């Protein structure tokens, strides 16, 4: 029997009020290890969704004091996305995965009997991979993206953030002159800069975190487990037989959901 959205969704919502400051939004995102909050009014009605991407799309990284002053006055209501895409709780998971891929979104609100009862996100689909993906395309190398967003350690944080926003990537890989991996800068690494802005001299090496890598021959289950355990949406793919070689690519939650949406996937049968 095909699984439904209600079988995989996260019940309940992590919310914020429309008048929450961007700094407060950043704190909640970091505390709950999530990429988005549902913005609700005082009666609990959904108004929109604000994500880490919405924060990054602003000009808060500017070193210009006037721009920073403007951004500090903005609230969740000013940057939230609306209307919010939703799906019925009894929708087959394969259909929900297809909606996410077609609309290029990261999450759907789940509706049951006219009420919002939870949310289903890319992370939830990845979690399901750990125990259900049994197709022939079961290796990281089969579904990974060959393209990766890369910068040097001396790259200004502002430049890295703009590259992430324009490319639609949630992170940028930091390498040295020979291509050796130094670390990764993600949206979460940049959240802490919202309150006080960023020094124009700040470089990515100052804010990056260690890269999480996975071998190209590892299974999708291993990749899914690693993402879930470490709250990562993207892993750097390497050849562990040649540890000094340049990274081969990346595998993300989107890559795995795209695999689920394939006609020959177990989710389509």
Q: Which fold has domain 5-131?
A: CBS-domain (3.10.580)
Placement of tokens 């209501």 in the chain? 77
Q: Which two tokens stand for residue 213?
A: 């890598």
Q: Where are the domains of the chain?
A: 5-131, 140-260
> How far is it, in rounded angstroms, from Cα 113 to Cα 198?
46
CB contact at 8 A, 48 and 80: yes
User: What are the pLDDT digits (tens) for 107-117?
Assistant: 899 999 888 88
Kind of pairing, strands 107-112 and 86-88?
A: parallel
H helix intervals, the chain: 5-8, 22-32, 52-56, 65-73, 76-79, 93-103, 122-132, 140-143, 157-167, 187-191, 220-230, 253-260
Q: For Cα atoms 128, 142, 167, give the angle at the middle one, nearest 5 degrees.
A: 85
What pLDDT is recorded for position 108?
92
Q: Which residues of the chain have pLDDT under 70?
A: 1-2, 56-64, 67-68, 127-138, 192-198, 257-269
> How far is it, in rounded angstroms, from Cα 235 to Cα 58?
26
Q: Which fold has domain 140-260?
A: CBS-domain (3.10.580)
What pLDDT is recorded for position 258?
67
CB contact at 8 A, 40 and 119: no
């Amino acid at each position: 029997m095909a699984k439904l959205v209600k079988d995989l969704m996260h019940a309940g919502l992590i919310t914020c009020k429309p008048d929450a400051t961007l700094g407060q939004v950043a704190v909640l995102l970091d505390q709950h290890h999530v990429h988005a909050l549902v913005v609700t009014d005082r009666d609990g009605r959904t108004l929109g969704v604000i994500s880490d991407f919405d924060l990054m799309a602003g000009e808060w990284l500017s070193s210009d004091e006037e721009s920073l002053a403007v951004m500090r006055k903005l609230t969740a209501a000013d940057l939230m996305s609306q209307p919010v895409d939703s799906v019925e709780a009894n929708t087959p998971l394969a259909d929900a995965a297809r909606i996410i891929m077609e609309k290029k979104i990261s999450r759907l609100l789940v509706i049951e009997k006219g009420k919002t009862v939870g949310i289903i996100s890319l992370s939830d689909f990845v979690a399901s991979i750990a125990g259900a993906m049994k197709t022939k395309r079961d290796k990281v190398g089969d579904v990974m993206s060959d393209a990766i967003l890369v910068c040097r350690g001396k790259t200004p944080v502002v430049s890295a953030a703009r590259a992430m926003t324009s490319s639609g990537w949630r992170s940028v890989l930091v390498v040295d002159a020979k291509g050796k991996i130094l670390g990764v800068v993600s949206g979460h690494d940049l959240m802490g800069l919202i309150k006080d802005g960023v020094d124009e001299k700040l470089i990515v090496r100052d804010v990056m975190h260690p890269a999480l890598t996975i071998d190209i021959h590892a299974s999708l289950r291993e990749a899914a487990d690693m993402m879930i355990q470490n709250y990562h949406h993207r892993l750097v793919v390497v050849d562990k037989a040649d540890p000094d070689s340049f990274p081969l690519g990346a595998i993300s939650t989107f890559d795995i959901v795209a695999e689920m949406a394939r006609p020959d996937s177990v989710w389509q049968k």
